[in-house]
Structure 1
């Protein structure tokens, strides 16, 4: 599929927003003593950017999917297999790393413990109540991957049926959303029945607009991005506001602006280097949960107290560790698995793009 350098760069930005959020939380826990509830919550909007990008990339990468029955089934299977090979191995690695650390050093994380049933659900991307009482997997940041895999499964079903992806996903999400209100006691259903799932739909809509209405000046890109930033960070968000209406729509405007800006972004000298950081964003996202608390504790031991020093230093450490994870672990493993499980030219339509 066509590579969008601006979208790749935005993936990196989204990952770093989450990193900054967790860094401020680690400072609150390990330095100021204010606990888990005091941190820069707006950094979580990086997840919403990820979800919009996911919808956009999946729609763009399957725009020429086959129409006959057997080919549709094969396309759906290959699509899902590619997604699993892209997402699962690295996630499983860091999940088992977390489990190993907790077994060796049980006091390492106050809100984590190991329970076999919960661990199995985590590895299978099934939402379940954790031993510490929250609906999140053994590696807590993996809650976003539960949503991602749910979206991939619904999208693959649309491919298999030959149904319009936008309408099929929207209708399915609406059914789940309503069903979750009727049966809130069923944990997976209650988990998926959140408005955040509709952010994937926003990404599909952006792809549809790009494919059918391309006559938008790149000069409109900064305006869309500015409007999105105001929605996400300028207006603020409290517990009573709906995430989809604030961070979700804001994220969609930022992604739309990045797509509109692409003719300009692709010509910049730094685009290729920054796109590499987008490639590494998944490794950054998963590995930062180990690097952030460790780096904050090291800086505390060194006597560093200023958040203005701690946050950039931790982000730099996360960036280095994430790039190392990508170059030495994620990319080699993904390449090996693709060569093992795929023959050349399995399908006639473009290879799915990279996702966080």
Structure 2
């Protein structure tokens, strides 16, 4: 174990990842980010379809897009700090600049709509504690009893911020100890949830002790392996991991008993998918598809904004009685996916990027000469 975690003289993965311009550019990670965002949008079509009267089967396992995001986050945090002496506050500042501005803006939009025209949010009502907690990434129940922030999709950011806090503290330690520190903390929290917390109903304690946080550890583990000089792998293995991961997620969504750990049903297969994609990048198997790369850039904006788009589109769709037309539900799905994508890209160019530029002060890159804002998977 100690040998596996031992620090290398240099993170060999960065050498492999260099392109002609000398920058780290992980195309397959960008592809994964775009795919993960689209999967989440697809899952959130279903509540709107229910309001139109549809109550049939839906591909709920597409929610694994979130698990892919978590694994990617763990991987990227590891490889961009490996064997680097990073200031904790500088790390926190970078993470805050990357995550908070757009989230606060869209949360403020949701709060404003909640106060001015609550009927547009369909199921939301104002609660001061929940609103304040949403801005500061604390998990609290909303008026419906669900542990969700005002901007519902922000529940994932609560976990991201918790991961950043713990990972930042681990940066005070040598690289050799960072992985073990984060693992012990998250494993301890998860064990409390496994053995002492009733997870059959939503609660703040159940949320904080969810084993979903171990998906960050899985991503870090992939990073530890991939920054070693003696790693193994092949393009064939990459394809096997991706196909196997997708198949397992789909299969377990059908056969896994209710209440089965999300870590097992979606987290571990998501880690296989991420590892497979990284292997494909390492061996230059896939072509560089610029529009997929750009979609990956915009994935955070798509993720945060699509709930507004689908809610508004659903109400227009029903008001025009388009849901009553033959194929109306299918049409809504197609238009919903396309509109969410276009709006997300616009939000990225007109809001997310300008906000990051505004709040980002010039500073020494975490990985000199290797990381740029677009290419390093959204860092």
- The 8 Å contact of residues 5 and 266 in structure 1, kept in 2 or not, is answered as no
2:4 is matched with none
Instruction: Kindly tell me the number of residue pairs found equivalent between the two proteins.
Output: 342
Hey, what does 2:44 align to over in structure 1?
Answer: 22
Q: Is the 8 A contact 2:146 2:203 kept in 1?
A: no
Write the deviation string for residues 199-229 of structure 1: whole angstroms up to 9, x where unpaired: 0011011111211244312222111101100
Counterpart among 274, 296, 303 of residue 255 in structure 1: 274
The root-mean-square deviation of aligned C-alpha atoms, in Å, is 2.5
Q: 1:188 to 1:233 in 2, by over 3 A?
A: same
- Looking at structure 1, the residues matched to 58 and 48 of structure 2 have their Cα atoms a distance apart, in angstroms, of 8
Report how far residue 44 of structure 1 moved. Answer: 1.2
Task: Answer whether contact 2:121 2:311 (CA < 8 A) is retained.
Answer: no
8 A contact 1:126–1:188 mirrored in 2: no
Give the C-alpha shift of residue 38 in structure 1: 7.2
- Structure 1 residues 55 and 346: alpha-carbon distance in aligned structure 2, compared to 1, 3 A threshold: closer
Question: 1 CA distance for matches of 2:139 and 2:36?
Answer: 23
Residue matched to 1:143:
155
Could you list the per-position Cα deviations for residues 74-95 of structure 1 after superposition, in whole angstroms to 9, with x for gaps in the alignment?
A: x111111111111111111111
| CA deviation after TM superposition for structure 1 residue 297, in Å | 2.8
Structure 1 counterpart of 2:19? none
- Residue 263 of structure 2 is aligned with which of 224, 233, 244? 244
Seen in structure 2, the aligned counterparts of structure 1 residues 224 and 267 have a Cα distance that, compared at 3 Å, is closer
| Pairing 1:89–2:110 present | no
Paired residues for 1:41-120 under 5 Å = 41-66=60-85, 75-120=87-132
**Could you tell me which residue of structure 2 aligns to residue 176 of structure 1?**
189
Question: Any unmatched runs of 5+ in structure 1?
Answer: 67-71
Matched, 1:127 2:135: no
TM-score for the superposition, normalised by structure 2: 0.83
Q: In structure 2, list runs of 5 or more residues that go unmatched.
A: 1-13, 15-23
Alignment-derived partner of residue 69 in structure 1: none
Residue 184 of structure 1, CA deviation: 6.7
Name the counterpart of 1:199.
215
Q: Quick check: 1:309 aligned with 2:327?
A: no
Query: Using the alignment, how far apart are the partners of 1:255 and 1:244 within structure 2?
Result: 15
